[in-house]
Structure 1
C-alpha cells in the first residue's frame, strides 16, 4: 500500500472558531496559529513493502519559538503524573518547576500552572483527594499532613475538638503554626514573660 503523510508545524494555519458562536474568551497568550503556513514540515512517503522515504524541512518561518505556545513533552507530563500519584501536592510541584529556572533557559516547565496540573490529573485519571479512614478529614488534618513534609514550616500545636488538654476545654480547637521567617523574628525580637 502506497501513501503520503504530511506533518505540518502546529503553528501553521489560521485560528478557526468551532461551532456557531464562541462562549469562552480566547486564552490570554492568544492562539498558537500564526495565520499562514509555516515552512517546517515532515513528509513521509510509503513506497510499499515497508519502505518509507522521509523528508524533513526544519526551518520555521513566520514565528519564533515562544514558550507560551510550546507544549509539554510526554516525558514531562509523565514525570508530573508520577509525582501526583506519589501524593506530592500541586503547590510543591509548582514550586519545584519554578525553582529550576536558570537565566537564558526558560522552558515550558517553568511556566507550569495549576490548570496544567489539573489537565494532567484528568488525562492520567489521577485522584489526589486525601482521605482519613473512619473519620471525615478536616482542614487541619489535611494541612497538618502537608506541613509535616515541609521543613520550612512548623506546626507548634494542634489540638482537635474532643481531645483533652490541660489548659483548654474539650470542645476547643487550637492550631498554632510558624514558618522559618516568623521563627527567626521571634528569636530576634521575642522575650519570655514571667
Structure 2
C-alpha cells in the first residue's frame, strides 16, 4: 500500500530501473539482521509472496497464519503481513543465528530492500532508501540482479496491476456507506487471492490473472 513520504528526505534523489546500477549490496549482510527486526506489520504480502511461501514450504496459507503470518486491515482491506515476535519485533523466519530461514522464498518487500517502489502514472520505479540500512560499505549492483526474481517483467506487470487494483478498490470502499459491503469485499479478496490454494503444477501468473479478471468483473472495477 502507498505511504505519504518526501522523496527528498528518504532517497538519494534518483529513480532506478531494472538495468540501472544502485548502491544497495551490503555483502550478504555478514550477520546483520536489523532490517528483520522492529518491522511491526509493515511487510505486507501480495498473492505472489503467498504463492512462493505456500508452494516452497509445502504448507497452506492457514497453516502460516498459525505463527508466521497475521492479518491486518490496510486502508480498509484485510491483507496478510509477516508476523513478528518478542519486544524486538523480530521476524518469525529468522533462525537462531539471525539469518533468514526462507531467503530464497522471501517476500518482495524483503527482496528489494533497501530499495522501495515509487508508483506514478500507472507504473513504478525503484528508489534507494538511504536511511533504512545501516550496514556499510555498500557496493553497486544492477537492480535486476539485486531483486533476484524469475520472469521479472511479468512480475513487475503483476505488481503494477495488483497495486492499482487495490488502490481503486480502496477508493470504492471509502466511498461506500455500508460497513457490510466493505467487510464482504475485503473477505472476498482474502479468500480469492490468499486462502484459495494455488496449483503448484501451474504457472502462477496464469492462475492469478484468471482470479484477477473474475474479481474485476464481480466487483465491477
TM-score range, shorter chain: under 0.3
Higher relative contact order (CA 8 A, sep 6+): 2
Greater per-residue helix proportion: 2
The two structures have a TM-score, normalised by structure 2, of 0.22
The two structures have a TM-score, normalised by structure 1, of 0.24
